[in-house]
Structure 1
Amino acid sequence: MSKSSLLQSYKIVLYRRALHPEFFNIQERRHIAHNDYELEAWLMPGGHVLRFQCNGLCFTEIITPDDRSLPERGQIAALPCAGERDHEQEFPEKVNYITTAQTETLTDHLFDSSYQEMLDFARETGALTHEWIDDDGGRCLSMIDIQRYKREVHVQSYHLNGGCGLILRSQTIFEQTD
């Protein structure tokens, strides 16, 4: 896939429900139960799923380069990731969702340095990672790092595609409000 078509294909999709695992090529997963909420993170090649549950509510964020097979039922928002994106959603049930995404395309040298920095960071922090080689022989990496707080959870994701030098960074916050 060309640089521009891969970049243009990435989307953030938010649901107000859980989605079944069979929709996804899950390579790694992590479940966190903390205070009054739960977060489950699924890592796929080039994307991720975050399922946040609290007080009987469920929200799911997906970042994917291919949203064609995703269901429409329960979908709240679908945003392209190209460039810089910010989205905030307040729900009447006292939950806030905030996400930012940035994409950039790097030269081979800068991409290789960033790739190594991400691997080092993942080892230091225990972040969830999946590495693979794309069809063009490029090294690829998807990574999720999670920070828990009393009433919120912060998730940073990084999706690196060596075939085209693409890096997609996102930060998501699910927050319980008073």
Structure 2
Amino acid sequence: MATAKKYFDQARGPAASLYFVVPLLLLYMFGVFVLSDTSSNNLTEIWPHLVSTNLGVGTWLILPVVTVAGLLVWSRRSKARWNVPAYVVVGMWAECVAMAAVWIAIAHGSFVEIPDVTGGATESAIASAAPNTLRQWKIGVGVEELLIVVQEAISDDVLFRLLMFPLFALTLRWLGQSRTVSVFGAVFASTAVAVALNHFGWHVGASSSFDWLGCAIHTALLGVLFAYRGFGVTVGTHVIYLMWAGLVLRIRLVLSVRPKIKELVFQLYSRPLHPELFAVHDSRTVSRGGYEATIQITSAGHVVQWRYKGLTLTEVATSAHHPLPQKRRLMSYRLSGERKDAIKCAGGASYQMNFQLEPADPEVFWTFQEELCSNEQKGMLHRFDSSGRMALGALSYINVETRSRCLIVQAFHTFPDDYAIVKSQSMFEVP
């Protein structure tokens, strides 16, 4: 009992936290060198870049220095001892895994993520429902995505937990509030700032679906964890949660036939998405006027990744069951009816899109498919396998137009089982 109490007391202290986060800080610095730019587009993640620019030092150095300095100040104020047994650091990793498992259970309603990824269906159930479908179950783990996860988690935790949280808590204590009120007041204040900073800087004037409630719950849980378990356990839990939920358990179903039209969504991210997430049937990369873009036809639709001066916008038309992250998602719409939207990003770049779902008579539908086939030499075309209900499979056709200041992507996806056509046009424009 005494050993357990000693562990819990030491694990939440600054010394144990420093020993614990050193490997993560080294991984962070390695990630900055490897990735050069994490394509952050909100103030939560871009603040190390802003500080490094103003001070004239490398981005790789700012966050580790701030982290170590913050923990040293904390240690001096609390008069913490620096002789931390090895079992404490090992126990902190075990505690982080347990905390992350609980967090995933809260977030997904189950300790197993497979039902969320496959829509609740088991592999055998899917096989019996679609016997002619080619399937590939795999775990999408990538080094680049891992480095991005570490950078996002550490920059977020240093800003809101190590810096802002103590500032709010000490201010409330100075105002005469009790310790409990100060702690939960700091949780509330840091959460409010996190929601504002996550939203601010992504876009201006966009009618997008920023998940402020999810961001608030996410930040509040981390704030409570920091208050009672310290910085090290908080960072470790955050990193493991993102790895587990977003990478290691990214068990997915890749179909060679078109999914049902009611399952499709149209999304936009201010970040790159790992290529392991998609079954790519055709790909093209274009570069002009300072921007570069990769356009891909995937099993469920398409992916367009557009890059300009450190900014990355990724447009995805895919199945709603596809396990894509919510982090830095700017838009998310069901593919039904007609929709238009636009955003203006920090730095002056802009994005516009419109899509429409058009039902068609069988004769009109097949005529349209033939017309798409005749344009194969002008654009990107992929023919999908038949689902078994129709003799012919679906088509995806993408026309790419590059101009000096903008990229225009027109996509057409057909759905023979529903006699429906999805048409979309997107424009990525530089300042």
C-alpha contact (below 8 Å) 1:27/1:45 kept by paired residues: yes
Tell which deviates more after alignment, 19-28 or 67-76: 67-76
* Residue 19 (structure 1) aligned with residue 284 (structure 2): no
| 1:7 shift after superposition | 3.3
Question: Which residue of structure 2 lines up, in the alignment, with residue 55 of structure 1?
Answer: 309
Tell which deviates more after alignment, 54-63 or 128-137: 128-137
2:382 corresponds to which of 124, 130, 143: 130
Could you list the per-position Cα deviations for residues 7-45 of structure 1 after superposition, in whole angstroms to 9, with x for gaps in the alignment?
Answer: 332211100010011100100100011120001011013
Could you list the per-position Cα deviations for residues 82-124 of structure 1 after superposition, in whole angstroms to 9, with x for gaps in the alignment?
Answer: 010101011121111100001112122111100001111233x
Q: Where is the helix percentage greater, Structure 1 or Structure 2?
A: 2
TM-score, structure 2 normalization: 0.39
Q: Aligned AA for 1:32?
A: V
Q: Where is the strand percentage greater, Structure 1 or Structure 2?
A: 1
Could you list the per-position Cα deviations for residues 125-151 of structure 1 after superposition, in whole angstroms to 9, with x for gaps in the alignment?
Answer: 1x1111012322342101111000011
RMSD of Structure 2 on Structure 1 (CA): 1.7
TM-score, structure 1 normalization: 0.90
Question: Which residue of structure 2 lines up, in the alignment, with residue 9 of structure 1?
Answer: 263
* Residue 86 (structure 1) aligned with residue 310 (structure 2): no
C-alpha contact (below 8 Å) 1:30/1:41 kept by paired residues: yes
Gaps spanning 5+ residues in structure 1: where?
Answer: none
2:401 corresponds to which of 138, 147, 150: 147
Matches within 5 A, 1:72-83: 72-83=326-337
Q: Displaced runs of 4+ in structure 1, greater than 4 A?
A: none
Seq. identity, %: 24
C-alpha contact (below 8 Å) 2:358/2:421 kept by paired residues: yes
Gaps spanning 5+ residues in structure 2: where?
Answer: 1-128, 130-258
C-alpha contact (below 8 Å) 2:261/2:418 kept by paired residues: no
| 1:67 shift after superposition | 4.5
| 1:46 shift after superposition | 3.6
Question: Which residue of structure 1 lines up, in the alignment, with residue 97 of structure 2?
Answer: none
C-alpha contact (below 8 Å) 1:49/1:61 kept by paired residues: yes
Matches within 5 A, 1:27-176: 27-123=281-377, 125=378, 127-135=379-387, 136-137=389-390, 138-176=392-430
Could you list the per-position Cα deviations for residues 53-89 of structure 1 after superposition, in whole angstroms to 9, with x for gaps in the alignment?
Answer: 0011111000113343111112111012201010101
Shift of the 94–67 alpha-carbon distance from structure 1 to 2, 3 Å rule, reads farther
Aligned mates of 1:15, 1:106 — CA distance in 2? 31
Q: Aligned AA for 2:328?
A: G
Aligned mates of 1:38, 1:70 — CA distance in 2? 23
Aligned mates of 2:264, 2:349 — CA distance in 1? 26
Aligned residues: 172
Aligned mates of 2:358, 2:349 — CA distance in 1? 30
| Higher Rg of the two aligned structures | 2
